[in-house]
Amino acid sequence: MTAAHATAAIQAGQTGEVTRKVDRGITVNRTGRPGADVLSTPSMIMLMEMAAIEAADPRLSKGFTTVGFHVDVKHFAPAPLGSDVTARARVTAVDGNKLSFEVVAFCGDRKIGEGTHRRAAIPVG
C-alpha cells in the first residue's frame, strides 16, 4: 500500500484536541522573577502538533504514521504556570499522503495562538 492510500479515511473537517496543564517543563522565564513563567512558543507548537496527530493518525492505515514538515504559527498571548491549554487541529485538505491543518490554542476561553500545520503519512516498521 502506498502512503497516499494510507490517508483514504481522512477527510477535511476531522478534528483532534489535546489539553495540558502548564508546568515548569514547558515554560520559559527569561526574567527570573516569580510569576513570569509562561507557556513557551515551542511547547504551544508541540501541543498543536499533538492535536493534528490526534486528528489524523488514528484514521491511517495500519503500518503508517504522520510526520510534521511545515508549521506557520503565531503565538500572541501568554498562558501562565498552572493554567490549562487546549490545542485543536482541523484537517483542511488531503493531497495524497500530505495533510493540511488549521491549528489553534486556547488558555481557557482566550485564544493564545493560531496557524497552519502540514504532515505527511509515511510507512513505519
**pLDDT higher at 19 or 37:** 19
Please give the pLDDT value at position 30: 65
**pLDDT higher at 1 or 8:** 8
Name the residue range of residue 63's domain.
3-123
31 confidence band (pLDDT: 50, 70, 90): low
Give the CA distances from residue 97 to residues 8, 24, 50, 106, 121, in Å, rounded to whole numbers and listed in that order.
9, 36, 18, 29, 5
**pLDDT higher at 109 or 26:** 109
Count of structural domains within the chain: 1
**pLDDT higher at 50 or 29:** 50
Please give the pLDDT value at position 36: 72
Q: Which residues pair with 74 in a beta bridge?
A: 114
Q: Which residues pair with 20 in a beta bridge?
A: 85
- Looking up residue 53, the CATH number of its domain turns out to be 3.10.129.10
Contacts of 86 (CB under 8 A, 6+ apart): 17, 18, 19, 105, 106
**Is the pTM here over 0.75, yes or no?**
yes
Element (H, E) at 44: helix 41-56
